């Protein structure tokens, strides 16, 4: 697959000027052979393409509830705990917004001194938007609820997409359709997706670790901080945006394969350059990746087959089921998962029982 098909989009518009600026994308681009223009890797993606390609628009059109309805339900007393968790995590996530917001403002032509002056206010606005989106996502998807790492995952979307409602539906598409189910469920033993992913990453790097002893904790840590968080805060900002863009363009297992491919390419580069006893420094290495590596990393990611990744994850899934003596055809069910499938009648009964228990206490 051509890397251009993987993480760049064609845009119709007039030819680029002598200064290299395209009137359609407002970004540096190059002329293709067929008269269309290619958006350069350095250009920020078009938020409208994320809205369409991720499946967010389709979800908004088919959902019986609107974003405002989910947000209103998030204000109910039973969701106060989620609101507290989101507020605490957003304060820890604020630093991740800074480089992304600066990149977006720079792409819009904002002078450097104005960026320094206004960035704090813009980041506060983005943080408030992200908090509302996360609370609404938790209401829509009780089986997922809210986990701390979700705060990282929304940074890329909220930072690039200006419309709050579109951010919500794009995040829903990522968590529900692109990332595998077990990868996002925080309740044990359902949270085995990370262990499965760690096994797949380890198997893919077997040729590099044959003479090194890399502990399993390394693969688990890398899997946790690379995939569910979309590598926000780990990769350099520009490469992280390209990675999320490739994931959006792929959607489903193809999108997950793009995300997995970038993580695998980065890990393989690190293992080639550093001995096993320094494996915990991978995150320091990743944050300082040379700019020249970005294109080759994306090219390697484009070679990953979605069907192969799915097959490998299914294989390790079955191995873990046998290890834990769980039935192969019975997925683990958490309390939040049961809550997600209760009918309105079950909800009324449960609330009445909970109210009765409180009175008896």
pLDDT of residue 249: 84
- Higher per-residue pLDDT: 327 or 212: 212
Q: Tens of pLDDT along 316-336?
A: 777 665 655 544 444 444 444
Q: Tens of pLDDT along 140-175?
A: 988 777 776 778 889 999 999 999 999 999 999 998
pLDDT of residue 276: 57
- Higher per-residue pLDDT: 37 or 71: 71
Q: For the chain, what is the total number of helices (H) and then of strands (E)?
A: 19, 3
Measure the CA–CA gap between 313 and 128, rounded to whole angstroms.
36
Across the chain, what does the average pLDDT equal? Answer: 76
pTM exceeds cut of 0.85: no
Find the mean pLDDT for residues 334-359.
61
pLDDT of residue 43: 61
Q: Tens of pLDDT along 106-135?
A: 888 888 888 888 899 999 999 999 999 999
Name the band, by pLDDT with cuts 50, 70 and 90, for residue 269.
confident
Would the pLDDT of 271 be above 80? yes
Backbone angles phi, psi at 121, to 5 degrees: -65, -40
Share of the chain above pLDDT 70, in %: 74
Which residues, in sequence order, are CB contacts of 208 under 8 Å at separation 6+? 268, 271, 272
Query: 6-20, 196-210, 248-262: which range is least confident on average?
Result: 6-20
Query: 17-31, 297-311, 326-340: which range is least confident on average?
Result: 17-31
Q: Tens of pLDDT along 75-116?
A: 998 888 888 888 888 888 888 899 889 888 888 888 888 888
**DSSP states of 84-104 as a string?**
HHHHHHHHHHHHHHHHHHHHH
With CA atoms as reference, report the closest residue to 298 among 262, 245, 250.
Answer: 262
Backbone angles phi, psi at 39, to 5 degrees: -75, 130
Q: What is the layout of strands, in order, in the sheet containing 29-31? A: 10-11, 37-39, 29-31
């Amino acid at each position: 697959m051509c890397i251009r098909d993987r993480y760049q989009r064609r845009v119709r518009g007039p030819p680029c000027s002598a200064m290299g600026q395209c009137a359609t994308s407002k970004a540096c681009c190059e002329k293709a052979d067929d008269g269309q223009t290619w958006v350069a890797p350095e250009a920020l993606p078009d938020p409208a393409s994320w809205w369409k390609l991720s499946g967010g628009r389709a979800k908004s059109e088919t959902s019986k509830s609107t974003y405002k309805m989910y947000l209103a339900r998030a204000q109910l007393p039973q969701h106060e705990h989620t609101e507290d968790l989101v507020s605490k995590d957003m304060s820890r996530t604020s630093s991740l917004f800074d480089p992304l917001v600066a990149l977006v403002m720079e792409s819009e032509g904002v002078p450097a001194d104005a960026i320094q002056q206004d960035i704090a206010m813009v980041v506060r606005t983005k943080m408030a938007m992200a908090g509302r989106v996360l609370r609404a996502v938790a209401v829509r998807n009780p089986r997922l609820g809210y986990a701390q790492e979700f705060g990282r995952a929304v940074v890329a979307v909220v930072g690039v997409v200006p419309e709050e409602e579109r951010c919500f539906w794009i995040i829903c598409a990522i968590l529900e359709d692109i990332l595998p189910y077990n990868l996002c469920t925080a309740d044990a033993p359902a949270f085995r997706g990370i262990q499965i992913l760690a096994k797949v990453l380890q198997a893919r790097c077997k040729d590099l670790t044959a003479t090194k002893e890399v502990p399993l904790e390394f693969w688990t840590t890398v899997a946790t901080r690379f995939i569910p968080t979309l590598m926000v805060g780990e990769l350099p900002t520009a490469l992280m945006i390209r990675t999320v863009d490739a994931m959006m363009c792929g959607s489903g297992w193809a999108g997950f394969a793009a995300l997995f491919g970038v993580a695998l390419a980065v890990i393989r580069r690190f293992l080639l350059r550093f001995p096993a006893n320094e494996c915990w420094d991978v995150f320091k290495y990743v944050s300082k990746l040379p700019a020249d590596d970005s294109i080759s990393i994306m090219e390697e990611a484009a070679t990953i087959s979605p069907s192969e990744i799915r097959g490998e994850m299914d294989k390790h899934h079955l191995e873990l089921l046998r290890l834990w003596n769980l039935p192969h055809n019975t997925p683990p069910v958490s309390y939040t998962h049961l809550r997600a499938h209760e009918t309105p009648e079950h909800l009324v009964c449960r609330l009445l029982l909970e109210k009765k228990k409180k009175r008896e206490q």
